[in-house]
C-alpha cells in the first residue's frame, strides 16, 4: 500500500475520533448538568413537601385552637352557672367537659400565688400585696399542647401604693 493513500485515511480517522471525543465530552457535560438539575429539583421538591407538611400542621393547630377557645367560653359560662346554682349534675358535666379538653392537650394555667409571668398572664389590676405575686385569678387561662391560647387574667401584688 502506498503511504499517500493511507495517510488521508488515517487523518480522516483521527479527525473522526477527535470529533467523537468532543461529542462524548459534550454529552458527558450535558449529563452532568442534567444530574445537577435533577438533584436540585429533587431537593426543591423535598423542601416543598416539608413546607406543605408544616403548613398543614399549623392550619390544624390553629383550627383546634380556635375551636378550643370557643369551648373555653362555654366552660366559663358553665363555671359561672355552677357557682350560682351549686348543682351536682352540672358539676359532673363540667368535669367531663374538662376531661375531654385535657385529652385534646388543653391544660389550665396555674397562676394563683405564683410569680407573675407575662407570657402566660394578663395583669388586669395591681394592688397592695406581695410584689409580682398573683393574688387573684379573674379569668382562667389555658394552654394547648404547651402553647398559651388564652392568658390568665390576674391581679398582681405590689409593695405599697407609691410603687407600681
Q: Measure the CA angle with vertex 47, ends 54 and 33; round to 5°.
A: 175
Same domain, 80 and 111: no
pLDDT band at 17 (very low <50, low <70, confident <90, very high): confident
Same domain, 75 and 116: no
pLDDT in tens, 87-100: 999 999 999 999 99
Distance separating alpha carbons of residues 10 and 3, to the nearest angstrom: 10
| Angle between helical axes of 3-85 and 88-103 (0-180°, round to 10) | 170
pLDDT in tens, 105-154: 999 999 999 999 999 999 999 999 999 999 999 999 999 999 999 999 99
> Which residue among 104, 123, 143 closes a domain?
104
Query: E-assigned strands of the chain?
Result: 106-108, 121-128, 134-139, 142-144, 147-150, 152-158
Amino acid at each position: 500500500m502506498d503511504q499517500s493513500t493511507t495517510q488521508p485515511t488515517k487523518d480522516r480517522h483521527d479527525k473522526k475520533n477527535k470529533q467523537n471525543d468532543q461529542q462524548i465530552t459534550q454529552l458527558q457535560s450535558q449529563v452532568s448538568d442534567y444530574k445537577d438539575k435533577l438533584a436540585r429539583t429533587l431537593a426543591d421538591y423535598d423542601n416543598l413537601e416539608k413546607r406543605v407538611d408544616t403548613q398543614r400542621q399549623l392550619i390544624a393547630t390553629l383550627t383546634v385552637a380556635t375551636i378550643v377557645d370557643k369551648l373555653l367560653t362555654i366552660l366559663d359560662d358553665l363555671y359561672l352557672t355552677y357557682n350560682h346554682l351549686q348543682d351536682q349534675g352540672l358539676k359532673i358535666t363540667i368535669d367531663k367537659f374538662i376531661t375531654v379538653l385535657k385529652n385534646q392537650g388543653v391544660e389550665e394555667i396555674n397562676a394563683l400565688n405564683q410569680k407573675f409571668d407575662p407570657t402566660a398572664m394578663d395583669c388586669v389590676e395591681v394592688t397592695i400585696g406581695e410584689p409580682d405575686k398573683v393574688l387573684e385569678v379573674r379569668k382562667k387561662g389555658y394552654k394547648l399542647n404547651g402553647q398559651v391560647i388564652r392568658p390568665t387574667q390576674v391581679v398582681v401584688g405590689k409593695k405599697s401604693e407609691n410603687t407600681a
